[in-house]
């Protein structure tokens, strides 16, 4: 796999469409566009609902008119909802940033060792690591709560930092390992000949080369930790003092109260905005994380 995976997805010169098309080809092209547009509508429908209804005020949403565009667009729902969610969002940001940074650092060290300093049995350990990506949250939930209890982490936001760091390590390791595998061994050799130690080579040669990879991993970790619900609700026990974005949102929307539709939709939208912003501006890196998490190339 010489070509970078993301470039592969993103690259295809459209030049061959430039030649004039025959009748059937024209038909197929039109058909393709119709299909693509239909799929686009399907894909955006749920977010459209959210956006449109968040501008209708807290109770101004009648359920059957929810497809319609707001007649009197206003931000009435945003203020109170934001007040409600502010604390949780701040807390989420706090733990998400920490856990992403820590797991990225650990991941880069691991990836470095697995790709450049293979030792006996490193492949077995690496396979075990990979399996770590597939371990369902549920399987480590109970021991994790017990562990938190022993270490007196329970009741602080650090339970989530800890959980996400541990859980993020396999995928971060994988991403970094694949990235480092592409760095020629000669560079390492040259460093060794000059008498640099393993740690020194990492610090002075590898780290400066890994910035793009750090971006990928940080975005990946940020998104998955932000969107995580299971750890959040489980490890904080639903305590309001520790509510994070998703649990707070679930508290608002989960009550089944259909009257406050505008309220619910606005809250959902607010909680989705940070990850959406990341996606819109750094989508390429997001895609890279997504793909390298699945294709071992």
Partner 1 sequence: MIGWTVNVSLGKKTNSYTTAKGYVGLKNFRGLFQDPEFMHAFTNLLKFTGVFMIGTLISGLIMALLLEKGIKGEGFFRSIYLYPMAISFIAMGTSWRWLMDSTKGDKATGLNKIFHFAHLDFLQSNWYSSERGAMFAMAMPAIWQMSGYIMALFLAGFRGIPDDLREAARVDGASEYKIYRHILFPQLSPTFLTVLIILGHISMKVFDLIYGIASKSYVTKVLAIYMWQVIFDYQNFAKGASIAIIILLLIAVVVVPYLIYVVKTEEQK
Q: Which of 78, 180, 226, 285 binds partner 1 (CB under 8 A)?
A: 226
Distance (Å, whole) CA 272 – CA 264: 12
Minimum Å gap between C-beta 61 and partner 1 is 10
- Within residues 234-273, the interface with partner 1 by CB under 8 A covers 234, 245-246, 249-250, 253-254, 256, 261, 264-265, 267-269, 271-272
Q: Which of 23, 63, 186, 193 binds partner 1 (CB under 8 A)?
A: 63
16 vs 193 by CB, closer to partner 1: 16
Count the residues of the shown chain that bind partner 1, applying the rule CB under 8 A: 96
Q: 285 Cβ partners below 8 Å, 6+ apart?
A: 212, 215, 216, 219
Q: 172 Cβ partners below 8 Å, 6+ apart?
A: 103, 104, 106, 107, 108, 110, 111, 217, 220, 221
Minimum Å gap between C-beta 261 and partner 1 is 7
CA distances from 72 to 26, 46, 51, 64, 121 (A): 43, 21, 14, 17, 66
Minimum Å gap between C-beta 143 and partner 1 is 5
**Mask for 140-179, x = binds partner 1 (CB under 8 A):** xxxxx-xx------------------x--x---x------
74 vs 294 by CB, closer to partner 1: 294
1 binds partner 1 (CB under 8 A): yes
32 binds partner 1 (CB under 8 A): yes
Q: Which range touches partner 1 (CB under 8 A), out of 25-33, 76-84, 189-197, 204-212?
A: 25-33
How big is the CA angle at 186 (ends 185 and 192), to the nearest 5 degrees? 95
Distance (Å, whole) CA 104 – CA 149: 26
Helices (H), the chain: 5-10, 23-54, 78-116, 122-134, 137-150, 158-181, 185-193, 198-201, 207-209, 211-227, 230-235, 245-253, 261-292
Minimum Å gap between C-beta 83 and partner 1 is 18
71 binds partner 1 (CB under 8 A): no
Minimum Å gap between C-beta 81 and partner 1 is 12
182 binds partner 1 (CB under 8 A): no
Looking from the CA of 297 toward its CB, the CA atoms found within 13 Å total 15
Q: Which range touches partner 1 (CB under 8 A), out of 60-68, 93-101, 151-159, 183-191?
A: 60-68
114 binds partner 1 (CB under 8 A): yes
Q: 133 Cβ partners below 8 Å, 6+ apart?
A: 170, 171, 174, 293
96 binds partner 1 (CB under 8 A): no
Minimum Å gap between C-beta 49 and partner 1 is 5
DSSP letter for each residue of 218-239: HHHHHHHHHH--HHHHHHSTT-
């Amino acid at each position: 796999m010489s070509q970078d995976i993301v470039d592969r997805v993103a690259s295809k010169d459209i030049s061959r469409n430039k030649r004039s098309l025959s009748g059937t080809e024209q038909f197929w092209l039109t058909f393709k566009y119709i299909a693509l547009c239909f799929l686009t509508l399907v894909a955006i429908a749920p977010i459209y609902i959210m956006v449109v209804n968040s501008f209708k005020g807290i109770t101004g949403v009648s359920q059957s008119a929810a497809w319609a565009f707001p007649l009197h667009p206003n931000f009435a729902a945003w203020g109170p909802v934001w007040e409600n969610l502010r604390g949780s969002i701040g807390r989420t940001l706090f733990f998400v940033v920490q856990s992403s940074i820590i797991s990225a650092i650990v991941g880069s060290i691991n990836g470095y060792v697995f790709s450049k300093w293979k030792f006996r049995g490193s492949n077995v350990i690496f396979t075990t690591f990979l399996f770590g990506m597939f371990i369902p949250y549920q399987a480590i939930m109970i021991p994790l709560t017990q562990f938190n209890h022993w270490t007196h982490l329970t009741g602080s936001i650090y339970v989530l930092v800890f959980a996400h760091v541990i859980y993020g390590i396999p995928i971060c390791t994988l991403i970094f390992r694949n990235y480092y595998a592409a760095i020629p061994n000669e560079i390492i050799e040259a460093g060794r000949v000059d008498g640099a130690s393993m740690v020194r080579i990492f610090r002075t040669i590898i780290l400066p080369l890994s910035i793009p990879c750090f971006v990928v991993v940080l975005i990946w970790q940020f998104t998955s930790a932000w969107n995580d619900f299971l750890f959040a609700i489980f490890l904080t026990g639903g305590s309001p003092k520790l509510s994070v974005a998703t649990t707070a949102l679930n508290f608002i929307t989960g009550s089944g109260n259909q009257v406050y539709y505008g309220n619910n939709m606005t809250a959902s939208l607010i909680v989705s905005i940070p990850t959406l912003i990341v996606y819109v501006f750094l989508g390429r890196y997001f895609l890279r994380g997504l793909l390298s998490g699945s294709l071992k190339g």
